[in-house]
Amino acid sequence: MSAAVLKFSVCRRHTEASSLRIRSNLKPFAVINCKLPNISRFSQSGTLCIQLSPKGQSRRPSTSADFQMTLVDESIGRGKIVIKPSEILAYDLVQGPLVRWSYIADKSVPCPPTAVLLHGILGSRKNWGTFARRLAQEFPNWQFLLVDLRCHGDSASITKTGPHTVCSAALDVLKLLGHLRVTPRVIIGHSFGGKVALSMVEQAAKPLARPVRVWVLDATPGKVRAGRDGDDHPAELITFLSALPKEVVSKREIIHALVREGFSNDVAQWVVTNLRQTNPSDSSPGFSWTFDLDGIAEMYQSYEETNLWEVVEDVPRGVHVNFLKAERSLHRWALGDLQRIHAAEEQAAEEGGGVEMHVLEDAGHWVHADNPDGLFRILSFSFQGM
C-alpha cells in the first residue's frame, strides 16, 4: 500500500485562508506521508491550501503560517483517487469545530448538516466569510459552503459555456454539490444569489434534502423593476466598469471615477475589492478585475427577466422558502410583490408547505454588512435542532 506524498511549500500570497488548520510541531518544508485530513478545498490547479499552526499558538490566521499542500502521488491509502483540475466552481468550506468530515475521506462518515451561501452580482464568496465563521462557531455541528458563482471571483477563470443565466448558475452549484457528495439543509442567497437558490429548487429534487430551508435575501422572485433616482443601478455599474481598462493603476482612482459617475462611495469601495494585483513583486504593480464582466452583464440581464414565482406559489413538499426584506433597501420591492408573497405564505400554510416573509430592521440592501447581528438572529432558527 502506498501513501500519498504531500509536499509543503510556503504560500505567501494566499489570502483566502480555509477553515482547515492542522496543529503540528513539524518545521516547514517537511515531506509527510499521511492520510489526507479534513479538507476544505482544492484549487483549480489541484493544490490544497491549508494553514499550519505551531502547537500552542492561536488558531487565528494572523498567528499561523500559510502553506500549500500539493499532491505528488495520486494514490491515497488503499483507494485510488485521482485529483485533477476540474470545471467545478471555486469554493470554501467553513466547518464548525465538531465537524469531522471530508468528501474524499471515509465514505462511511455521514455528511454533516450543510448550508450553502450564495453571493450577489459582482460579489464573491469572500462576502460571506466573516458571517459564515460566526455561524460555524455558534453551530459547531454544521458546515458552510461558500461559492464563487460563474464569472465571479476564482470561478471567473473557469471556462463556462453560455448562456450565462440564473438557471445555469444554479445548475453549476447543483453540480458542485454532487461532486462534493453534499446534501444541503439550508440555502442562503443574497440578491442575485437569492434567485439562484430558487432556481436550484426548481431544477432538482436531488441533491436537495427534505426538508430544506431556502433564504432569499432582499430579492423578489419575478421581474426586477427600475430603481428610483439616487439608487445604484447594477446594470449601469456593469456598463461603466466594462468601459474601463482591463488593468488599472490604483484602486483609489477607480473609487473616484465611480463617485464622479454618481455611484455611492459604499458601492465604489465594495467594487474595488474585486481588484487583484497583477504583479505584486513590482514596485508599482497594477490591478486587474477578478470577474468576467461580459458574462456578468448577461447574468444580470437574466436576473432582471427570470420569473420564479411558480416555485414560490407551488412550493415543493419539504421546502420552506423564506424571504427577507431589508427595511432601508433600495431594492425594488413593489407592493404587488409583497402582497403576492403574503398570499403564497397563506396558501402554503394551508397546504402544509412553507413560505414566510421577514423584515430586517436598520439595514439596506447589503444585509450581512449593514446589520449582521439582526440577520444572524433571524437566520439562526434554521440551524437549531440538528
Predicted confidence at residue 13, as pLDDT, reads 32
Residue 292 Cα to chain centre, angstroms: 17
From the list 40, 42, 47, the residue with the least C-alpha distance to 6 is 47
Pairing outcome for strands 5-10 and 65-71? antiparallel
Please count the other Cβ atoms lying within 10 Å of the Cβ belonging to residue 59. 11
Instruction: State the pLDDT at residue 223.
Output: 85
Q: For CA atoms 300, 301, 304, 307, give the dihedral sign.
A: negative
Distances (CA, A) of 290 to 8, 90, 152: 27, 13, 7
* Residue of 20, 34, 131, 105 lying closest to 369 (CA atoms): 131
3-state secondary structure of 326: strand
Query: What pLDDT, on the 0 to 100 scale, is given for residue 60?
Result: 41
Instruction: Give the 3-state secondary structure percentages of the chain, helix then strand then coil, rounded to 5.
Output: 35, 20, 45
- For residue range 159-182, list pLDDT tens digits in order: 788 899 999 999 999 999 999 989
Amino acid at 127: N
Report the predicted TM-score, pTM, of the whole model to 2 decimal places.
0.76
pLDDT, mean of residues 56-73: 35
How far apart are the C-alpha atoms of 135 and 375, rounded to whole Å?
11
Give residue for cell 430544506: 212
Neighbour count for residue 339 (Cβ, 10 Å): 10
Among the listed residues 169, 133, 1, 179, the one whose alpha carbon sits nearest the alpha carbon of residue 78 = 1
Work out the angle at residue 160's Cα, subtended by the Cα atoms of residues 39 and 302, and round it to the nearest 5 degrees. Answer: 110
- Model pLDDT for residues 86-145, shown as the tens digit of each residue: 578 999 999 999 998 888 876 778 899 999 999 999 999 999 999 999 999 999 999 999
CA distance 193 to 150: 11
Which helix H or strand E contains 31, and what residues bound it?
Answer: strand 31-33
Q: List the one residue out of 298, 168, 148, 310 whose CA is nearest residue 238.
A: 298
CA–CA separation, 249 vs 271, rounded Å?
15
Residue 322 · residue 214 · CB < 8 Å: yes
Helices (H), 243-292: 251-260, 265-271
- 206-254: per-residue pLDDT in tens? 677 778 999 999 999 998 865 554 455 788 899 999 999 888 888 999 9
41 vs 349, residue with greater confidence: 349
Name which residue leads in pLDDT, 43 or 218. Answer: 218
**Residues counted in the chain:** 386
Per DSSP, the residues of 150-199 read TTSGGGGGS---S---HHHHHHHHHHHHHHHT---SEEEEETHHHHHHHH
Q: What is the CA radius of gyration of the chain?
A: 21
Residue 38 φ then ψ, to 5°: -70, 105
Residue 224 is predicted with a pLDDT of 82
Neighbours of 315 (CB within 10 A): 21
Q: How far apart are CA 314 and CA 306, in angstroms?
A: 17
For the chain, the straight-line distance linking the first and the last C-alpha, in angstroms and rounded, comes to: 38
Q: Given this model, what pLDDT does residue 352 score?
A: 61
pLDDT at residue 157 in the model: 87
Using the predicted structure, report yes or no on whether residue 49 has a pLDDT greater than 60: no
- Asked if the model's pLDDT at residue 81 lies above 90, the reply is no
As a whole number of angstroms, the distance between CA 32 and CA 3 comes to 10
- Sheet (strand 319-326) strand order: 91-95, 143-147, 114-118, 186-190, 212-217, 319-326, 354-360
Q: Who wins on pLDDT, 22 or 140?
A: 140
Q: Check: CB of residue 197 under 8 Å from CB of residue 169.
A: no
Alpha carbon distance 39, 68 (integer Å):
12
